Amino acid sequence: MPEGISHITLIVRDLSRMKTLIETVLGGIEVYRSEKATFSLSREIFFLIDDIWVAVMEGDPGSERTYNHIAFKISDADLPKYLSKINAFGLEVRESRSRVKGEGRSIYFYDYDNHLFELHTGTLEERLILYGKKLNMQNPQ
């Protein structure tokens, strides 16, 4: 069984622009920049967002938008602060899906390369309780 998520990699057209977005909106900290040396497929920058390793690589991200997304946990009180930061970048905010009362609130937004991010205030445990299920690590349903 995997121990957890190792890292998330996003392909982007402009590394500098994505760096600014990750640092300003998501509070990421740059920990590596390849410059001209490419140990992987292309130039890249590594960030830590809390303890999550996020890599951004230069390339063609494609043009299709989907609901595939990465969700980061935030507090409910911080929702307006994050929305303000996202709006300051002129990023497109996607309408949130319909919700069951109590499962948390979300902001969905696209970056410059059609990646969808979610900033979510709820937890898995809260959602399972609302859906009438228990969090059971021995026998997941």
Query: Which of 60, 92, 107 is a domain's end point?
Result: 60
| Helix pair angle (79-88, 15-25), 10° resolution | 160
Q: What's the CATH number where 136 sits?
A: 3.10.180.10
Same domain, 80 and 115: yes
The residue with greater pLDDT, 133 or 25, is 25
Same domain, 129 and 112: yes
- The answer to whether residue 141 scores a pLDDT higher than 60 is no
- Torsion on CA atoms 105, 67, 110, 130, rounded to nearest 10: 10
44 tagged catalytic = yes
User: Would you give the distance in Å from CA 90 to the centre of its chain?
Assistant: 17
Same domain, 85 and 141: yes
For residue 116, which amino acid is it? L
The residue with greater pLDDT, 134 or 67, is 67
Q: Determine the average pLDDT of the residues in 28-38.
A: 87
Domain count across the chain: 2
* pTM summary value: 0.84
Residue of 44, 64, 92, 125 marked catalytic: 44
Same domain, 100 and 39: no
Query: Which of 30, 60, 90 is a domain's end point?
Result: 60
Same domain, 125 and 114: yes
Same domain, 138 and 73: yes
> Could you tell me the pLDDT band of residue 73, with boundaries at 50, 70 and 90?
very high
Q: Determine the average pLDDT of the residues in 42-69.
A: 92
Same domain, 83 and 127: yes
Q: What is the mean pLDDT of the chain?
A: 88
Domain that holds residue 136: 62-141
Q: Determine the average pLDDT of the residues in 64-71.
A: 90
Same domain, 43 and 70: no
Same domain, 76 and 52: no
H-type alpha helices, 52-123:
79-88
Tell me the pLDDT tens digit for each residue of 82-122.
999 999 999 999 988 777 677 888 999 999 999 999 999 98
